[in-house]
Amino acid sequence: MRQVALVTGASRGIGLAAAEALARSGFAIALNGLLDDAALRDAVRRLEAQGVPVMAAAFDVSDTTLHAEWLARIEDTLGPLTTLVNNAGVGVLRRGDLLDVTEESWDRCLSVNAKALFFLSQAFARRLVSRARPETLFHSIVNVTSSNARAVAVQRSEYCASKAAAAMVSMAFAVRLGPENIAVYDVQPGLIATDMTASVIETYRQRAANGLTLMPRVGEPADMGCIIATLASGKLPYTTGQVISADAGLLVPRF
């Protein structure tokens, strides 16, 4: 019997790296992306080449009416889910003065980064708690929030607010699902080189080299994939509700 994971936002970036690392650990995987596009189909092919069962699950995570239906479809194809990786996320519509933030950008950040994460976790948890689960399989939710759950980036304040909300959702689900033996983790990436950060990553590379992070480099999606797969595989037993600061020491207090 193998573990089965749904990874949201897995067509590229951190989500794709997480899916690849989970596939290396033997998981069957449903790869979610917003669109059933070439990137998602390519991601499915890359994982199939690793010899694990894979399917595409293209849907908008912020449309909560789709959650239950998609989880059922995934289980019909891959078997009972053990793992949810809530990774799909969006940045702000425009970086800039907090005094100019629009409701549109606020609503989009909160909807995808926090509300979708809450209700997809709820739909996933409802399925798991309603059935007997083999004790030999590790069950978990791994949420990808951000260093910005704790640290203000004032030019992206609505993003920070959405990630702080997601971090609290992680803790709340950890409390609710602990008695069910379902672990919940909050991975908080720092500066990772993906499409989301492409316009600013060279600046951050310089700043990392100059001491912004304790280890002098920006992160790669594969770093995050390794952390997520380690957690989801149950390699940190007897833990739940933890924040993993995946940031090379960015937020270690110092002066």
Ligand X SMILES: NC(=O)c1ccc[n+]([C@@H]2O[C@H](COP(=O)([O-])OP(=O)(O)OC[C@H]3O[C@@H](n4cnc5c(N)ncnc54)[C@H](OP(=O)(O)O)[C@@H]3O)[C@@H](O)[C@H]2O)c1
Instruction: Enumerate binding residues for ligand X (CB under 6 A).
Output: 8-15, 32-35, 39, 60-62, 87-90, 112, 144, 146, 189, 191-192, 194-197
Nearest distance, CB of residue 64 and ligand X, angstroms: 11
Nearest-5° Cα angle at 237, 234 to 241? 90
242-246 and 28-33 strand pairing: unpaired
CB of 189 to ligand X, least distance (A): 4
Residue 169, CA distances (Å) to 41, 150, 217, 219 in order? 31, 14, 30, 25
**Nearest residue (CB) to ligand X, 140 versus 147:** 147
Distance CA 14, CA 91 (A): 14
Alpha-carbon span 186 to 165, nearest angstrom: 12
- C-beta closer to ligand X: residue 180 or 202: 202
Q: In angstroms, give the least distance from the CB of 57 to ligand X.
A: 9
Minimum CB–partner distance for residue 218 and ligand X (Å): 8
| Encoded amino acid at 100, one letter | D
Cβ at position 96, least distance to ligand X in Å: 18
Looking at the Cβ atoms of 133 and 217, the one nearer to ligand X is: 217
Tokens of 189: 């990436």
**Where does 69-193 show beta strands of DSSP type E?**
83-86, 139-144, 182-189
Nearer to ligand X, 8 or 83 (CB): 8
CB closer to ligand X out of 125 and 192: 192
